[in-house]
Structure 1
């Protein structure tokens, strides 16, 4: 399945036209089509914020609450995953609108789409090195299995099953 068969969803606030234009230009330059997911705006009241996450667990584990913006971001990713789960493709790509795309992204997406190895989610971005085990080469990149948790959701491929 070529990368054009992997739907790409970009999470973006409707009130951020400059960010939308920037990510649109990057994706167009790579020949990739996409759809926007209108992000949940944490600057506006979040009627279901109390149900969006376990506040007590967050305080116990991290010592801080999530901000309304963090809750909105998380709910936006849930919205993107719902779009992938409802679609016909085996997997989909989720990007935040402030990512800087690598020029080899189309080749990486082709390689991910062709993977025979089962996966749930493949992170396409990382802010810092994590302990990991190399799994295989993937379009000139290294596919790894992380030891411990990942931080950040700037870009990833997720299967419809995992999204559900």
Structure 2
């Protein structure tokens, strides 16, 4: 009988981890949408951000508090977020078929609270290019490679 309880506990722990990971992915995408809206209409972007933070706070997200400038995932300390820059870049470029200029990527990352210099971002983009995750469509413009797009659609 104890094996069944242990298996249930493992399953519940795995399900909770998967739910947290999916929540983080969805919040990252929401942050991209908010940043895009804010670039076109700052008032609407701010209003949507406030609504999202209020929703998270009312839903019991302990990190999101009323009045926070960022969503809970975005508001984590920089030390916890350094490993999230590459996935965030991939998320941004996934919705841009023609690619994005390095300046636009930099601007969106800084709006989301990432602390990175343009030089470090250029190095990171170049490494992603060499790894086959990105392609360069023109000088300073980057897009997802077909291999990366296929990998993301499959997974």
Using the size of structure 1 for normalisation, the TM-score is: 0.28
Which of structures 1 and 2 has the bigger CA Rg?
2
* Larger helix fraction of residues: 2
* Larger strand fraction of residues: 1
